[in-house]
Every structure is written in structure tokens, then in C-alpha cells.
Chains A and B, each alone.
Chain A
Amino acid sequence: MEHSKHTQYASSEKKDPLDPGSVFNGHFDGLAERPAGGTGRAAAAPQPPGGAESGSQRPVMESWREERTRSVEDNEMSLPSLAKSYTTILRGLGEDPQRQGLLKTPWRAATAMQFFTKGYQEKIIDVLNDAIFDEDHDEMVIVKDIDMFSMCEHHLVPIFGRVHIGYLPNKRVLGLSKLARIVEIYSRRLQVQERLTKQIAVAITEALQPTGVGVVIEATHMCMVMRGVQKMNSKTVTSTMLGVFREDPKTRDEFLTLIRS
């Protein structure tokens, strides 16, 4: 099986940190202004051997080239083994897998788990490529209260909450639902909330090269609510601010005020 997004994320650190326009480890080192179209950066971004889109105007950032770790055929082929594992689990818990309510549970649970990790089947590039538009707009765009469902990678128990995304376009805007789709791709995986926040922010940065991106996630972790410390009302809030959201406190304030209203 291919390695997951974890290693791809690490590979983005290989970019030259001195390049003023590059994205280093997801953080902007460069100036707020950069050429619209991003053609100047196509040369700056390291083209990996066998990079698919060297001829296109849009620079191909490494984390876009997520290796697809799963296909629909993979899903079908792993289903029997997954179902068998779930039958073992049912038996290990002291249940009777033959009783009526549990007869098809291994298959249902296996399919459900595959659905909860369908983010491994999808690539950002497929979702975004045709929804980036040139628009003479440089005011903040916010999409808030995006419902998010993920799985805790430590306990395999759901995490759910809301994502608020804001960005300052640099003459390029993104179809609004695509922000929600980016959330879906990264959240439908085995995740850690901190990583999820950063991945969403970096994906938008690399797609649009905006002046700044802010992502705030507030979520409830069932692993804390249903078990362990059992704190019913606790919420975890993480945020990633890139570009001018990080540098300019007024921009950040505006974003945070607007998502709370």
C-alpha cells in the first residue's frame, strides 16, 4: 500500500526556503504581493521527476500530487478481509455474531469505515482544477460553519465539528463549494485535528496563492466524550493562519469576528 499523506506533507519541506515566493512547510516566507497567474513561480517550484504538469501555467506544488492510496477496486478487494476483522472484534467483545441484529454488521461496519476514510481515494487536483476563476477581488472571502466529520487516528472514534475558512484572494477566487470539498477530502481520513487544520490551509494556499488564508476548526472528540476523561461539553479549537492573516493582526481580528457573528 502506498504511504499516506503524512510522507507527502514532509516532502514539501524540501522546497528552497530562500525562494521569496515559495511556500515553505506551509508558511509564507515571501511578500504579500506576488504575480497574478503565478507563472513566475512555476520555475521556482521544484519540478519532481515525472511531474505531470510541467507545461501548465499553474505551478504544481508537491502536496497536490497526492498519491492516490486507494481506488474503488481496492475497496472491493479489501472488503472481505475487513468484514472478517470486524467479526473477530464482535466475538472478542463477547457478542454473538450470528444473532439477527449482527448478521450483516461486519459488512456494514466495513463499508462504513471505508466511507469514513474515503479521503484517501480523492485528490485535490481532481476537485479544484476547473473551479479557479480570475476575479478582480481582493477582499476577504469567508465560508463558515462547514460541518466536518473525521476519525481520531488514535482511537478510531469519530470527531465532528465545524470548519471556518477565510482567505484574501489575489485576483483568483475559488468556487465556494470547493472549500467544503477540500475539507471533506482531508477530514475523511484518520486524523489529528492539528494536522487537518494545517492541511486545509496549505491546500488552499497552494491552489490559489492568495494573500492569506485562515482556517479555524472547532470540534468535539468522541474519544474524550464517550470514554477516557468523559467531558461532555469540551471542544477543541485549532487554527492555522497563513500570509497576511498571520502577519496583520487587524486582518486576523476581522476574520475571527466575522466567523463568530
Chain B
Amino acid sequence: MEYHNAAEMNGSDDYLNICKHNNLCREENDSNDSADANKLSHIEKAYSTILSELGEDVDREGLLRTPLRAAKAMQFLTKGYKETTQDILNDAIFDENHEEMVIVKDIELFSLCEHHLVPFFGKAHIAYLPNKKVVGLSKLARIVEIYSRRLQVQERLTKQIAAAISEALQPAGVAVVIEAVHMCMVMRGVQKMNASTVTSVMMGRFNDDPTTRKEFLDLTIKK
């Protein structure tokens, strides 16, 4: 799976790895529409079992179509597995003589904790220092979507977003900060309502130059 490679991403050849995997995915998708429907019915049956094991009455009106709805919802929440950065970015990279910081902040983010299958959500702030190549701004948000609509761990999510931008644009620096609330901590377990988790990845000049990093943080993190 792509995320395996992504988790160890550090070099520039990883983008090629993603490309290879993307091609495989596409071929599989073409011939797998019926397999998709098959998978949906497996997931649906699993949810039926879950409902009855939880002690609910599966025949009551409100729950009649819940297994199907829950299965479709889960597929939507993990649709990032089928999407690739290459698909969305290829035609939106422009040559622009710009080398100053570009920030897109407060990008809403919704993901699923891979440990409890419970949502976590929050905001992502992304900044990069273009190296004569800029990317369409919505594409940064789309990259967040691709990687967040998966079973994730917030640390890995942050790193994948940073790596994807880094490899697509070869900028002078990339910074990604994610601040999220984890329902697995709020709704269950320790049950801390107001706790949020912040992770950040700084690459290139954001890592090396403290003033650049400070500028990014000042412009992004509301006090």
C-alpha cells in the first residue's frame, strides 16, 4: 500500500514509487467495479453482524438500511486510497517567478483513526517556498483530502502531505501543521473534551532557517 512507502518517504525517488503504485491502482480499478460491489456487500454484512452483536434490534425501522448506509459512509471516508497526487496535480503546476512564502491555512480536515475507526478532525495549515513553480491553491487542499480520507495516524498524515508537495514541486521548503481533535480521546478512553493534538513537519528552508519558520508560525497559528 502506498502509505507504507509514504511513511518512510525521504528521498525524491519515492514520487516514482507512488507513480508506479498509481498505475497499478488504475488498472485494478478498471476491472474491479464488480469486485467493488462485492466488497460493499461484505462490508454491509459485517455491519449487520455488528448491529445485532451490540444488542440492537436490526429489524426496527431506523436500522433497516443502516448496514448499507454505514458501509457506503465508510467507503466515502476512506476514498483517499483510490486517489493519487499525480491525478490532481499534473495540470495545475505553473511556472511563476515567485519565491516568497505561500500559505494556505485553516484547511478543514476529516480523517479516521486507524486504531479505533473513530473520526478525528481539525485544521491543516500548509506553507511552501516556491522554486519558480507554484501550484493551484485548491490543489493543496485536495492533497490534504487524498491523504486524510484514509485510516490514518496524525503523524503520518502530516508527513505524507509534506512529502507529496515536496516531490511534486521541488520547492525550497514545505511546512505542514495539523491541529486536530481525536474523538477516540474525547468520546471514550480518557474523555478529555478540550484536548487537541498538534503535529508539524518542516522541510527545506523551514527546517534550516528559524526566521522562515517563525514567519510561517506567526502568520498561521492564531494566538
Interface residues of A (CB under 8 A from B): 1-4, 6-7, 69-70, 74, 78, 81-82, 84-86, 88-96, 99, 101-102, 104-105, 108-109, 112-117, 120, 147, 149, 153-158, 160, 190, 192, 222-223, 225-227, 232
Contacts and interface: CB of A to CB of B under 8 A. Distances in A.
Contacts of B42: 88, 91-92
Interface in B22-67: 39-40, 42-43, 45-47, 49-57, 60, 62-63, 65-66
Interface of B: 1, 4, 39-40, 42-43, 45-47, 49-57, 60, 62-63, 65-66, 69-71, 73-78, 81-82, 108, 110, 114-119, 121, 151, 153, 183-184, 186-188, 193
Contact of B47 (A78, A89, A91, A227): A89
B55 A74 contact: yes
A74 B53 CA distance: 9
B28 to A, nearest CB: 10
A202 B118 CA distance: 31
Given A6-B57, A105-B114, 10 more contacts: A84-B49, A89-B47, A89-B74, A94-B78, A96-B1, A112-B116, A116-B188, A117-B54, A149-B183, A190-B66
14 contacts: A1-B55, A4-B60, A88-B46, A89-B43, A89-B117, A96-B1, A101-B114, A101-B151, A102-B114, A108-B116, A120-B55, A154-B66, A192-B62, A226-B77
Contacts of A147: 193
A222 B39 contact: no
Contacts of A82: 49-50, 53-54
Given A117-B54, A149-B186, A95 B46 contact: no
A78 B53 contact: yes
Given A82-B50, A153-B62, A117 B55 contact: yes
Contacts of A1: 52, 55-57
Contact of B115 (A84, A91, A101): A101
Q: Which of B55, B60, B66 has the most CB of A within 10 A?
A: B55
B47 A85 contact: yes
Contacts of A149: 183, 186-187
A227 B62 contact: no
Contacts of A112: 116-118, 184, 188
Contacts of A6: 57, 60, 62
Nearest to A155: B73
A214 B50 CA distance: 34
B46 to A, nearest CB: 4
Nearest to A74: B55
